[in-house]
Amino acid sequence: MKHLLIIILAIGCGVVLFLGNAHWNERTGLSKQEPVQESKDSEPDTKTSEAEAPSSTTKITLEEFEILSKNWPDAAKKQFELSLQKEEPFKIVLAGSEALGNETSGWAQLTKAELEKAYGADSLEVGIQTFNGTSMDFSAENKAKDLAALKPDLILLEPLTLNDNGEVRIEDSHTHLSNWIETVKTENPEAVFIIQPPHPIYQASYYPVQVEELKKYAETNDIPYLDHWAAWPDPQGEEILNYLSEEGDVPNEQGHLLWSQFVNEYFISK
């Protein structure tokens, strides 16, 4: 019996040693293998991701431009197309009285934002130039030189007509305007002008005559005229007061929005 127990114990020890050795070999064998690498298929394809990501460019294509610029003067369209070919931004300047608004609000700032969004900030730049004075003052201070220095391709000009009311004769206002255009074109022969009147005011008498004469001036000189007065309420009615400041001399927030919407619809066709 004693011998039998010894034999059983020996067999048991052998089994334990065999299993322990097999386990050890299994562990050490794995530790000597090369680290397991993920297949290339499982790795993120950065090139594909970059290609599929939305483009960050803010340039417009010629096809997109042709759709949006249906109302533009032909000369301005040609200049924009040349700018695209040269990969240079087309420059628009919104110029006029302080009725354009200030640096943080006003129809000019609203329009600037919409234009650069529609056409792409890399394809189009919009500058704003305001002047608090009459056309005579503008000429005396040679501000047209400052306008020319901006090297604009297109100028939407409000020629201080309301500021001239009671201060400068209509004929003299138009003479100043002609001189400004000549000054700009001397520096930038291909620059395109669009003229627009200032905003309407409540129950004015002589001012509407000035605006009508400005429209005739534009027609006579073959200059596009942006008649945004068509979008305002009748200046003779009290409804117009909802679009003007308490003093009635400049647009309020609602007036600036109305003015900007009209300009935007002209420059950005849908």
Q: Specify the pLDDT at position 48.
A: 32
The answer to whether residue 200 sits within a structural domain is yes
Radius of gyration of the chain (CA): 37
- Does residue 213 fall inside a structural domain? yes
Can you give the pLDDT at residue 104? 79
What is the predicted pLDDT for the residue at 149? 96
What integer pLDDT is reported at residue 29 of this predicted model?
38
Q: What is the pLDDT of residue 167?
A: 97
The contacts of residue 71 (CB under 8 Å, 6+ apart) are 266, 267, 269
* Residue 173 located in a structural domain: yes
Residue whose structure tokens are 């001239």: 164
Q: Which domain holds residue 211?
A: 130-232
Query: Beta-strand (E) ranges in the chain?
Result: 90-96, 124-130, 154-157, 192-195
The whole-angstrom separation of Cα 101 and Cα 90 is 23
Q: Specify the number of domains making up the chain.
A: 1
The pair of structure tokens assigned to 96 is 């006029």
Below-50 pLDDT ranges, the chain: 1-57
Range 103-124 burial, b when 16+ CB lie within 10 A, else e: eeebbbbbbbebbbebbbeebb
Contact yes or no for 235/204 (Cβ under 8 A): yes
User: Does the residue 220 lie in any domain?
Assistant: yes
Q: Considering the domain boundaries, does residue 146 fall inside one? A: yes
The answer to whether position 212 is within a domain reads: yes
* pLDDT score for 103: 74
pLDDT of residue 52: 35
Residue 241 in tokens: 């007061």
Whether residue 197 is contained in a domain is answered as: yes
Q: How far apart are CA 226 and CA 127, in angstroms?
A: 18
pLDDT at residue 70, rounded to an integer:
96
Q: Which residues of 217-240 are buried (b: 16+ CB within 10 A; e: fewer)?
A: bbeeeebbebebbeebeebeeeeb
Residue 117 to residues 124, 126, 191, 219, Cα–Cα distance (Å)? 9, 11, 22, 31
Whole-Å CA distances, 54 to 48, 145, 189, 234: 12, 42, 39, 47
Any idea what the CATH number is for the domain that residue 184 is in? 3.40.50.1110
Question: What pLDDT sits at residue 105?
Answer: 84
CA distance 113 to 158: 19
Residue 154 falls inside a structural domain: yes
**C-alpha span between 56 and 98 (Å, rounded):** 35
